[in-house]
Amino acid sequence: MKFASLATTSAVALCASTLVAALDPIVIKGSKFFNEKTGEQFFFKGVAYQPRTGLSGNDNPDPLADTAGCKRDVQHFKDLGINSIRVYEVDYTKSHDECMKLLEDAGIYLLLDMPSPKYSINRAEPHWDHDLMSHWQAKVDAFSGYSNLVAWIAGNEVANDVDSTPSAAFVKAAVRDMKAYLKTKKLSTPVGYADNDDPKIRMNLINYFNCGDEETRADFYGINTYRWCGDKSDFETSGYSDITKNMTDYTIPSLLTEYGCNLVRPRTFSETKSLYGKDMMDIFSGGIMYEYTEEDNEYGIVKVSYGDSKAEKNDDYDNFKNALKAANPEGVKMDDYKPSGKDSECPKASSDWKVAPGSLSPTPSLGRCQCMVGTLSCTFKNNKLTASEGKAVGAIIGDICGQTSCDEISYDTSKGKYGDFVACDAYQRAAWAINKSFEDQKGAKCSAGDIDVKIDHTPKQEPSECLTKEDDNGNEGTSAGGNENGVDDDNGGDDNSTSSAPALAIRSPATIVAGAVAALVVCLA
């Protein structure tokens, strides 16, 4: 994929989208969404929209660039009575003007995920670096001109069990940085997170993304849940009552970002009676049914194929339509609403939550990382590695960081420690480790196995000078691992707390190698 034309693509989208009649802005006040112009409370009545049937192997799945598909599906969206769709993946280099115009004319808002499968935070070996951030920024640039873009999601089920909780710290760093990026563009589109409703980490995630200062907190919180299965379930037996209790007194909006168990077919969507009724409407802002198109996982209500105007409904279609038609939540007027509750307390590190409350990974800085590479005496000869070289260097770095300290490119989320160059990409971190081994072993040969390396006898700068470089949001450089404002830096871990395995460093060599290989292969793909 070529990115040279990103600025042009974004400019076209921004300019063209301003020519259409804008939908009313949806804003947040306290724990609710409101129509800014009418003052009416806004409840999401949406569907997840990510068709996959009919794609060739090389295609990026982008339903908003499929004009034929948009024309076909928007008619069904209007028939269903939805007001929103959630899309997980798009190709931001393509034009989305026609589809976004069709959606806008139909009164449909877009909830869009910032990550994509290729550019997302890896739950097993998490990092937040310039490469990820630049792609997310490009997506923001391409879509922020559309009046019906209602919100962004910065992570979907990233931390999904105890072992993957360190990834939450990197998602929260991404929330912080993308909110700051939107601010530089004079945009206030909210940025949220969607969890997987895992019982062991659920409350820690809920509290974590609503603690600390406003700059680091999520603007809203989504829950993907499939507890309510069939008409034999109800508000109590399904556990929806527990979900609702968990969000009581929450100070940011919450919604079901996915719902719709398919263990009982056809689905009747009886959960909507509670979601949009007295059981939940005071706490939740509606939800997104998963999903619109019938795929291999059998959650859809319509069979479609990319580029084809035909659509085949199943029994779930009319059931969902009727369920939404009967859903008439009684909201509150924005002027009459008085927010209450209090911000959550950040969870302390423990055996079930491997994240300290006080620190986050630094904002990525291309300048800092390029500067760091310029300080190295022993480094790679080529600016890029092949896929096979990436695999080989992973094992080499595992050996190096198993024998010497790689603190500058490592992290330990359970202690809130992040190295000064932890937000550099995999190639740059690998180069740092090779040079560290070279400098530690006086008189040793500059080597990286069979990979070509070079000696630079006159590095351009000292590493400390690199820390003054601006980050990718234009802020002055600082050392990594700073505290979140308003959060006590006491790690507070219990006696059973365990450290996360830092990437390219210290802990288990097998984990180190796997992380290095995975990161480098992704970087080179």
CA 429 remoteness from chain centre: 23
- The secondary structure of residue 370, as a DSSP letter, is H
CA 137 remoteness from chain centre: 12
Let me know if 330 is a catalytic residue.
no
Which of 36, 40, 98, 157 is labelled catalytic? 157
Distance CA 14, CA 12 (A): 5
Q: Taking the alpha carbons of 297, 303, 308, 309 in that order, is the dihedral positive or negative? A: negative
3-state SS, 289-350, equals ECCCECCCCCCCCEECCCCCCCCEECHHHHHHHHHHHCCCCCCCCHHHCCCCCCCCCCCCCC
Distance CA 191, CA 179 (A): 7
Which DSSP string corresponds to 134-169?
A: HHHHHHHHHHTT-TTEEEEEEEES-S-SGGGTHHHH
Three-state SS at 522: helix
Neighbours of 327 (CB within 10 A): 18
Distance CA 418, CA 359 (A): 8
- Asked if 49 contacts 22 with a C-beta cutoff of 8 angstroms, the reply is no
3-state helix, strand, coil in the chain (%, to 5): 35, 15, 55
Residues in the chain: 525
Which of 89, 104, 125, 258 is labelled catalytic? 258
Residue 9 tokens, joined: 């693509």
Q: Which residue has the tokens 């990525």?
A: 364
Distance CA 437, CA 447 (A): 9
Three-state SS at 359: strand
Distance CA 385, CA 380 (A): 9
- Asked if 70 contacts 64 with a C-beta cutoff of 8 angstroms, the reply is yes
Distance CA 321, CA 310 (A): 19
- Asked if 401 contacts 504 with a C-beta cutoff of 8 angstroms, the reply is yes
| Residues recognised as catalytic | 157, 258
